Amino acid sequence: MTIEHSIVVGLDDIKTVIFECRQCRTRVSMLPNDIRIPQKCPNENCASREWITGIPANVRSSYEASTAKYVNFVEAIGHIRKSKNDAAFRILLEFDETDSEMPSCEMQS
């Protein structure tokens, strides 16, 4: 007999978005409605200081789309998972377990 337990959460259930440095494990927490990936690890002694390279955030386009943002989000999840953890940081999502939908249990024999 196999028992599976899963927790289902929605985007509104996310309490905090956490960026964790892969090198020194320093964490930066942000509210979900005001997320910006830090350009570098906040730990001054970290060897893996740069998190983002390329075009600075203040120069980037302010591209907006109504439906495309959902498509971009879903596709980005797949791209990030397939990228073999090549970023200098990890993205962690914090949520209150009591606020999420009831866990589903499935029994198989």
Listing DSSP states for 37-93 in one string gives --SB-S-TT-S--B---SS-TTTS-----TTHHHHHHHHHHHHHHHTTS-SSEEEEE
Nearest to 51 by CA among 62, 63, 61, 36: 36
pTM, two decimals, is 0.71
Q: How far apart are CA 65 and CA 75, in angstroms?
A: 15
The answer to whether 48 touches 39, Cβ cutoff 8 Å, is: no
What averages of pLDDT result for each successive group of 10 residues across the chain (109 residues)? 86 94 94 90 86 64 68 88 85 78 47
**Geometric angle at alpha carbon 53, from 50 and 54, rounded to 5°:** 165
pLDDT recorded at residue 6: 85
pLDDT recorded at residue 60: 52
pLDDT recorded at residue 107: 46
